Amino acid sequence: MSQPSLRDRALRCLSRRDHSRAELVRKLAPYGTDEEIGAVLDHMAELSLQSDTRMAESWVRSRAGRFGRARLQNELARRGLARNLIDEALANGDMASEPERARAVWQSRYSALPSDAREWGKQARFLLARGFSSEVVRAVLHGMPEENVEDWTP
């Protein structure tokens, strides 16, 4: 039985989900030279089978309801996408505002505002780990309406 070609390996990866070019380079590196991998990925891009823009947009669309802007940016950068593609995907995404998303994530986990400092810290760490800014976290945990978050200072 022969080994799958670089093209077959790349297609197998792309059939599961969109991958960035950098991810595919990393996954295919043990099986070919840089020139061979580059040629295969160039051909995939010509056929619109691989697109960093499409990958970034689908990634944002699928995770925007659970994570804040900072976490989305970090995840996309970790996958080897250029900063301009990340900013474009975040700007073009049909996302609710950051405070609305933070409140929805918070409500999915907690049913009441924190009653003491320990509980406040626990809930704040949860939202911060999800990538929401400290201003948004403070506003959510103080029970502020979304429209007042940008104007609020503690």
pLDDT digits (tens, 9 = 90+) for 51-70: 999 999 999 999 988 999 99
pLDDT tens-digit map of 13-43: 999 999 999 999 999 999 999 999 999 999 9
Distances (CA, A) of 62 to 11, 56, 94, 100, 151: 21, 10, 11, 16, 29
| Domain 1-50 and domain 53-95 have a common topology | yes
53-95 has which fold?
A: Arc Repressor Mutant, subunit A (1.10.10)
What is the CATH architecture assignment of 1-50?
A: Orthogonal Bundle (1.10)
> Do 32 and 4 form a contact (C-beta atoms < 8 A)?
no
> Do 81 and 145 form a contact (C-beta atoms < 8 A)?
no
> Do 136 and 96 form a contact (C-beta atoms < 8 A)?
no
Show the tokens assigned to 79. Answer: 């996958």
CA 30 to chain centre: 27
